[in-house]
Amino acid sequence: MEKAIIGKKVGMSQIFDTDGKVIPVTVIEAGPCVVVQKKTAEKDGYEAVQLGFQDVSEKKLSKPEQGHIKKAGVSPKKHLKEFKLNKAAEMNVGDIIKADVFAAGDHVDVTGISKGHGYAGVVKRYGAHTLKATHGTGPVGRHAGSMGSGTDPSRIFKGKIGAGHMGVDQVTIMNLDVVKVDPELNMIVVRGAVPGPKGGLITIRSTAKTIVEKKGEAGTSANPQKASARVNPQKASARR
């Protein structure tokens, strides 16, 4: 079943598995979310639900937002996000979505707004090389350098790296696995890093990737035509 929830990034930490290996994780405060609006194929042409997250004072909402919330009959919410889910038709306005909608072992896609780095040069923004820090370099060691010929084509081709605004982009990290879920603390712990600063808004949904289950380690083939069956007696691993 396809699932989704809204949350905010708490921060990164690490936990240890049963083998004592360190797992870098990100802690996310997920939900509780409420279904504010339901889109149907008959009325809207597609099926989706709009979730609301984080209570807020009504005076901080605009008049249209207040009317939208009052129509749903729910408490004012700061963040609204729409999700196209294959089970959206089974959900109703007012339903509560909690962190336990996900379970340990689920694979999810996490979307957030990346950290802003202001106006950055090509070295920081794209990892471009600098000139040698020695005599004769001058004050241009971190400059972008030549952009191309002048007369022809007399312009810079699209896609050329250059200085500019860095960060504050919507970024999705796909196929992260859920390590732990605590519904009492509204906490979802995922393996690895997710975009955004601490306290940044995060959306979690079932991954769009096709998960291939591992079938165990490959054994030695009995077919002499295959490389796995041709044992080289000169190798130390074959001399037992």
Token pair recorded at residue 128: 């471009």
Predicted TM-score (pTM) of the model is 0.76
114 contacts 196 by C-beta, under 8 angstroms = yes
**Nearest-angstrom CA–CA distance, 106 and 33:** 19
The predicted model gives 180-188 an average pLDDT of 90
More confidently predicted of 46 and 227: 46
pLDDT at residue 93 tops 90: no
Phi, psi of 68 (to 5 degrees): -65, -40
The predicted model gives 4-22 an average pLDDT of 90
Mean pLDDT, the chain, whole residue set: 86
Q: Which pLDDT tens digit goes with each residue over 52-91?
A: 998 889 889 899 988 988 888 888 888 898 988 888 888 8
**Nearest-angstrom CA–CA distance, 78 and 133:** 50
